[in-house]
Amino acid sequence: MLFERKILVVEDNEINRAALCVILSSQYTVLEAENGAQALSLLEKYREGISLILLDIVMPVMDGYTFLKHLKADHRLNSIPVIVTTSNNSEVDEVAALSNGATDFITKPYRAQVILQRAAGIIHLRETSVLIHQIQYDRVTGVYSKEYFCQQVRDILFRNPDVKYDILCSDIEDFKLINDTFGMDAGDRLLRQVAELCTQRLGDHGICGRLNADQFACLLEHREDYADEMFTQSDSRINSGFGDLNVIIKYGIYTVEDREVSVEQMCDRALLAANNIKGKYGKHFALYDDKLRGALLRRQAITDGMETALATGQFEVYLQPKYQIRDGRLTGAEALVRWNHPKWGLQPPAEFIPIFERNGFITKLDQYVWERVCSLMQEWDKSGYPSINISVNVSRIDIYNTNLVDFLTGLMQRYGLSPSRLHLEITESAYTDTSRQLIETMGALRRQGFMIEMDDFGSGYSSLNMLTEMPIDVLKLDMKFIQTEITRPTGQGILRFILDLARWMKLSVVAEGVETQEQLERLQNAGCDYAQGYYFAKPMPVENFVSILTAQALAANIENSRSACSAGRLDRALLVADEDEEYRAHVHRTFTDCFKVLEAASCEEAVGILGRHPYQISAVILSLTIQGGADILTAIQKERSAWKTPCVATGPLDMELERNAMELGATDYATKPHDQESLRRRVLRAMSTHTLQVRMRSLQDEACRDTMTGLLNCRGLYTITESLWHESSSVVCLFELDDLKKFNEKYGYVEGDHLILHFASLLRAHTQVDDVLVRLGGDEFLAVMYNIRSMKVAHMKEMAILRAYNESRYVDPDSVSCFAGTVLWNAEEPLDEIIGRAREILYAAKASGKEEYFLQKG
């Protein structure tokens, strides 16, 4: 038989015990015990595996009544039914047996059919009861199961239409980590404590159920006085039983207003409120409100539209260029995805990727991106563009697709590409799930030739053990790490440590999120391999990236042509201008392996060489103690104009001399005396920075524009500042869209983007073609307007823009107000000071009241 039920016979009389065994053994497995003590030993071994106990009352060692007391005191065994067998047929004995926990009572002598029928009936009732209990109650915690909880809530709401109720849901933060770190037993113990706390707090005033792994739900009568203290006390009680472990529970509360909403949806809404405060220190509970409802509706709208979007080509691949830091060469790109929705407009990935990761659609979207990227690389190869690699994201859910390796290798074969061209980015957080499947899948892909990148390294999950276990080729340093840490002295040390570690492990390093020249130089000095970020270019549509590829191909052709023309000789020259002949000889020996070294002992010689070889000279080493050294620096800038030759100035330890050299255009300053190897590093670093800047020039316009509005951004404004200084009779007008954050929260970020675009169009409509229009930040705009000679005319311009905005469809009593501050600008005043004055006027206008938006004074 597949399953045999066991019956335990506890009887001291051997003949009676044998008779019972004969009767029962035809249908059951029979276990025997001579007294209560033996029976308890057998129960400890078989526990719930015993379906029924037949128990004699009068026995030596331990009688039946004592045995019953032990049985009913043990929560593991007290559900096993007991039939008392006795030769005494008195009502007193029967009542005594039943009151001690017996299920039934049989008198001797035994009648076979009666015993079999009663045993079968009681076992069936017990199994039915257990089954019902398993359906109605959670096995681990003993509270209601999800299905039974929802049924009970529906019944309570139906029976009490006039009572207002709340659904309260709890969610344990990082519960999986608790299970992984302390084991499943500790996790189950924690769940039982949470369930016990909930039921104790509710008492007879509510019910509790377990929704899934670490989430519980309670129904209780509505209250208005929820406070953090109520929940912190609960957390403290739970933490007291877990030593150093800090258990954090977040609570979400949904007030039952619409009883037509399903109970499951009520719980979802409460959990949505709880999820909204996850990771927020000091926030213990949150109430579900209209804002969260809007987020839920938005999430549902995204889910409803995702399949159609994929089928109709609404998802677009954007590419962010990646450059080799050493020489500024474009080496590849990272593929990102944007959703160009017909109604919502262009949606950033943060809007929909987390939703797709939760509902599993991310797998389809990732595969679409991979295919599109392979198609682009094949197309570019056929067109003769330089061969580059592209990084694509691989989500955690993709890794557990058993067909992942076959899908990717098949893709590369179909498009005729080497697997090394497709870099697979796995986010660092995915590596915390160090399952064998993850390691084996990544290893299999790497053996096929794919390059594996660990994305977001440094975001908080990093460990040396992780790096040694995982099969990876490239580390991508986290954007936030680049933007903050390397600007600090200690951060620079950490950066060097990571790069040294990467070199030791033979890993390449890509720095993402590079935004400033300072960040780039620090990465360059530390020996980072590649970089990407807004300093170079933002993620861009494919056609914009193709323009960069075209420029690179053209530059390569020009370089090849020059190489052909100068065949047979070194086409890179280094000029050393120094009055010390011995020093020039040292420099000659240091650089002769990679440059044609030209020497000059005077200012006249140096200027003459620059005039004869304007494009051949790659770098200059210039002594500032040579007579006319400043003139040489001027000649360098004059001869090459915008294509400035990198120049390393040398001289004694003199801060004033060094400052003057840098102001005149020197790239670096080397204090004499110095080591020749140190000088070599300085020169090569200066050349690398110069090459990178030249190659970036083609991207300058892209980096200087606000991607949403097409106006200049802050970087663009300061790039053209010098040309603005030469203008006179200009006006600077600063605008601010006040309460834009409130507008976004009320109407959504899509409408907020439309408002920003609308205001940008108003600026264009009310200014001249040559005027400079800038989006300084999220809600600030700047207009530099020419040929305005008085504040009266300036205010007329300003008021025309404000009036046009005030009459637009976006203005209502709760909407965004527009303020302005305007000042005249002459050629002598620095731009920062002018903007500061305009901002002071704008703030004064705000303080005077929104209805007085037209009263700004300059």
Place of tokens 């009055």: 579
CB atoms within 10 A of CB 2: 3
For residues 381 and 387, the answer to whether their CB atoms sit within 8 Å is yes
Tell me the one-letter amino acid at 432: T
How far is it, in rounded angstroms, from Cα 208 to Cα 225? 20
**Order of strands, edge to edge, in the sheet holding 165-172?**
206-212, 215-221, 165-172, 249-255, 285-287
Rounded Cα distance, 514 and 530, in Å: 10
Q: Where are the beta strands (DSSP E) in 329-388?
A: 330-341, 345-347
Cβ count within 10 A of residue 384:
7
236-243: Cβ within 8 A, 24+ apart: 237/193, 237/197, 238/190, 238/193, 238/194, 238/197, 241/189, 241/193, 242/186, 242/190
CA 684, 686, 688, 694 dihedral sign is negative
The rounded distance, in Å, linking the Cα atoms of 674 and 548 is 40
Burial of 545 (0-12, 13-18, 19+ CB in 10 A): buried
Q: Which two tokens stand for residue 799?
A: 């008021």
Q: Which of 351, 425, 512, 736 is catalytic?
A: 512
Q: Which residues pair with 339 in a beta bridge?
A: 315, 347
- Alpha-helical runs (H) found in 527-652: 542-565, 581-591, 603-612, 629-640
DSSP 442-504: HHHHHHTT-EEEEEEETSS---HHHHHHS--SEEEE-HHHHHHGGGSHHHHHHHHHHHHHHHH
Residues 6+ apart with CB under 8 A from 448: 405, 408, 409, 419
Q: In 10 A of CB 227, how many CB atoms? A: 9
How far is 826 from 731, CA to CA, in rounded Å?
A: 9
Specify whether the CB–CB gap between 757 and 708 falls below 8 A. yes
Please provide the distance, in angstroms rounded to a whole number, between the alpha carbons at the two ends of the chain: 97
Which residue, chain included where needed, has tokens 């007391």? 69
Of 402, 472, 391, the residue nearest 430 (C-alpha): 472
Query: Would the CA dihedral through 325, 329, 332, 337 be positive or negative?
Result: positive
Q: Are 855 and 848 within 8 A, CB to CB?
A: yes
The rounded Cα 495 to chain-centroid distance in angstroms is: 21
For residue 317, the 8-state DSSP code is E
Q: Is 823 helix (H, G, I), strand (E, B) or coil?
A: strand
Which residues, other chains included, contact 177 with Cβ-Cβ below 8 Å and sequence gap of 6+?
none
The amino acid at 335: A
Residues 6+ positions from 504 with CB-CB distance below 8 Å: none
Note if 512 is an active site residue: yes
DSSP letters, 24-40, are HTTTSEEEEESSHHHHH
669 in Cβ contact with 622 (< 8 Å): no
Of 294, 833, 321, the closest CA to residue 547 belongs to 321
Which sequence positions are flagged as catalytic? Answer: 512
